[in-house]
Amino acid sequence: MSKKTPEIMHKQNTSARSKNFKEVALGYTEEQAINEANRCLKCKKPLCVEGCPVRVQIPEFIKLIEDRKYVEAAYKIKETNSLPAVCGRVCPQEDQCEKTCILSKKGDPIRIGYLERFAADELEKSGEKTEEIVPSKQGKVAVIGSGPAGLTCAVDLAKLGYPVKILEAFHDTGGVLRYGIPEFRLPKHIVKNEVEYIKKLGIEIELNCVVGATVSIEDLRNEGYRAFFIGVGAGTPRFMNIPGENLNGVYSANEFLTRVNLMKAYDFPNSATPIKRGNHVAVVGGGNVAMDSARSALRLGAEKVDIIYRRSRVEMPARIEEIENAEEEGIEFHLLTNPKRIIGNKDNWVTGIECYRMELGEPDDSGRRRPVVVHGSEFIIDLDTVIIAIGNDANPLLTNRIEGLELNKWGNIVADENGKTSVPGMYAGGDIVTGAATVIEAMGAGRNSANTIAKYLDGLSE
């Protein structure tokens, strides 16, 4: 008889983990993976698959795990999802595959993400086989941005036989996987492996190339590129436009996380990039970015870390697992709270934040009840660091320099579900089209665009 309740994921204990940057979730043991795989009903019409944006063949890969064919299971996932080690760790499964799993009605869906991670980690242990692909088709493609959207698009195009080059603004690849999501949630060796794999496929990567500044689209056309995929992410941080935001000790989450992850400021002075290690830190926001910032601040040595969020707990967009992790680690949540101003001293250093209490009013456009200010409810939290994690806007650096490219009123590129933009031969996907979304959606967009680009190029050479 198979077990009824899901296998739990073992984690580093809270007191140890809140002081180190090592991965929190330790992964399933073989025995746990098989037990969990056993629980799956291998449905003929698997509802779980409907919930996965890239339609991973879930019952099939779970069956392979049950049969102890772990590497085969990983390859099965890879047929539709080229980054299972990443997605198994960071997909918001509770809103996707695990939400639609038939067993979730009873409250205990199969832990699909944990199984996906298990299979991918087994593949990593066994060493993945790759062979260089020699392009067989005409039409060079430039993929701009090396986040999940760009990486997926490039791999798919290479597999379809097209010569591809990735152009990346930073000195390293991976986009948010590298500079946003911290080591304790997504170890960087996983991102590195994926990039090694891509290089072995024969895909060229040019770093330090800020398209729009270092080269223009025209230059790339002159270099022989026939089609373009734009996957530059949602790259410019939003501020609240309240007094005190330029005080010393106020960070955007982008800056804070980039210093910590990409620049390894947690290892200062071995790594030369500094970061302010606050004693009392408040993070404004309720998404994954806010959780990652708060938990990073804790690991840098803060005595107290608060989250300030203007709605209530149920509206928090962060993954439930990460909200729970944050709570376990001792992060305090000020819900229905919104900053009014940030307070500083004469040397421009932040000393406190004044907040309003909020209450929920009528539903807004997003269907969530709109938070409204409770007048006269102001109170002050004393602190020395504020991290603003209220979202990103589209970075206009490249998009404003492409003639004829249609943007919406927020500056995001207008593209259809196949990635087609208003410029012939130019495709786009990921956060730059949708605004901040998820890794798997960005990958899905990269894949769809790869297929459309292939059709476009075949049309050109006919």
Partner 1 sequence: MFTITNKEKLADKVYLFEVNAPRIAKKAEPGQFVIVRQAENSERIPLTIADFDRKNNSITLVVLETGYSTSQMAKLTTGNSFLDIAGPLGHPSEIPSGETVLMVAGGLGIAPVFPIARKLKNAGNKVISIIGARNKDLLFWQDRMGKVSDELLVATDDGSLGHKGFVTDLVVDKIKNKNIDRVFAIGPGVMMNAVARVVPEEIELTVSLNALMVDGTGMCGGCRVSVGGETKFTCVDGPEFNGHKVDFEEFLMRHKIYKNEEEHICKLGKDLS
- Kindly tell me which residue out of 75, 170, 197, 349 binds ligand FAD, with binding defined by CB under 6 A: 170
Please provide the DSSP assignment of 316-346 as one string.
Answer: --S-HHHHHHHHHTTPEEE-SEEEEEEEE-T
Binding to partner 1 (CB under 8 A): which residues in 206-225? 207-210, 213-215
412-441 residues in contact with ligand SF4 (CB under 6 A) are 440
Of the residues 195, 227, 232, 284, which one makes contact with ligand FAD according to CB under 6 A: 232
Interface of this chain with partner 1, residues 41 to 60, rule: CB under 8 A: none
Q: Which does 259 bind (CB under 5 to 8 A by kind): partner 1, ligand FAD, ligand SF4, none?
A: partner 1
Q: C-alpha distances in angstroms, 137 versus 159, 219, 447, 450, 455?
A: 11, 22, 18, 14, 12
Q: Does 260 help bind partner 1 (rule: CB under 8 A)? A: no
CB of 366 to partner 1, least distance (A): 25
430 binds ligand FAD (CB under 6 A): yes
Residues 51-90 interacting with ligand SF4 (rule: CB under 6 A): 52, 54, 56, 58-59, 81, 87-88
Would you say the C-alpha torsion 240, 243, 245, 249 has a positive or negative sign? negative
CB atoms within 10 A of CB 34: 18
| C-alpha to C-alpha distances, 299 to 63, 219, 293, nearest whole angstrom | 39, 44, 10
How far apart CA 19 and CA 300 sit, in angstroms, is 7
Reduce the DSSP state of residue 195 to 3 states and report it: helix
Q: Are strands 385-388 and 250-252 parallel, antiparallel or unpaired?
A: parallel
Contact call for residue 412 and partner 1 (CB under 8 A): no
What is the rounded distance in angstroms from the CA atom of residue 122 to the CA atom of residue 78?
A: 13
Residue type, 159: K
Number of residues near ligand FAD (by CB under 6 A)? 42
> Which one of residues 252, 399, 449, 452 is an interface residue with partner 1 (CB under 8 A)?
252
351, 345 Cβ separation under 8 angstroms = yes
CB of 221 to partner 1, least distance (A): 15
Burial of 218: CB neighbours in 10 Å, binned 0-12, 13-18, 19+: exposed
SS (H, E, C) 286-313: CCHHHHHHHHHHHHCCCCEEEEECCCCH
Q: What gap in Å lies between CA 213 and CA 255, rounded to an integer?
A: 21
Measured over the CA atoms of residue 321, residue 332, residue 438 and residue 207, the dihedral's sign is negative
Q: Does 169 bind partner 1 (CB under 8 A)?
A: yes
CA gap 372, 256 in Å, rounded: 29
**Rule CB under 6 A: which of 295-334 touch ligand SF4?**
none
Q: Does 103 bind ligand SF4 (CB under 6 A)?
A: yes
Q: Which of 41, 201, 240, 242 binds ligand SF4 (CB under 6 A)?
A: 41
Scanning 204-212, 240-248, 334-342, 362-370 for contacts with ligand FAD by CB under 6 A, the matching segment is 204-212
410 makes contact with partner 1 (CB under 8 A): no
| Contact pick of 97, 141, 142, 263 for partner 1 (by CB under 8 A) | 263
Does 255 contact partner 1 by CB under 8 A? yes
Closest approach, Cβ 245 to partner 1, in A, equals: 7
Query: Phi then psi for 357, rounded to 5 degrees?
Result: -85, 150
Residue 9 interaction partner, one of ligand FAD, ligand SF4, partner 1, none, beta carbon < 5-8 Å per kind? none
Q: Residue 3 interacts with ligand SF4 (CB under 6 A)?
A: no
HSE toward the beta carbon, residue 449, CA cutoff 13 A? 35
Q: Which of 12, 35, 43, 202 binds ligand SF4 (CB under 6 A)?
A: 43
Q: Which partner in ligand SF4, ligand FAD, partner 1, none is near 263 (CB below 5 to 8 A by kind)?
A: partner 1
H helix or E strand, kind and range, residue 112 = helix 112-126
353 binds, among ligand SF4, ligand FAD, partner 1, none (CB under 5 to 8 A by kind): none
Point out which residues bind partner 1 (CB under 8 A). Answer: 169-171, 207-210, 213-215, 235-237, 239, 241, 245-246, 248-249, 251-252, 254-255, 258-259, 263-264, 268-276, 347-348, 395-397
Question: Where along the sequence are the contacts to ligand FAD (CB under 6 A)?
Answer: 90-92, 144-150, 167-170, 175-176, 180-181, 209-212, 231-233, 235, 257, 288-289, 292, 319, 397-398, 430-432, 436-440, 442
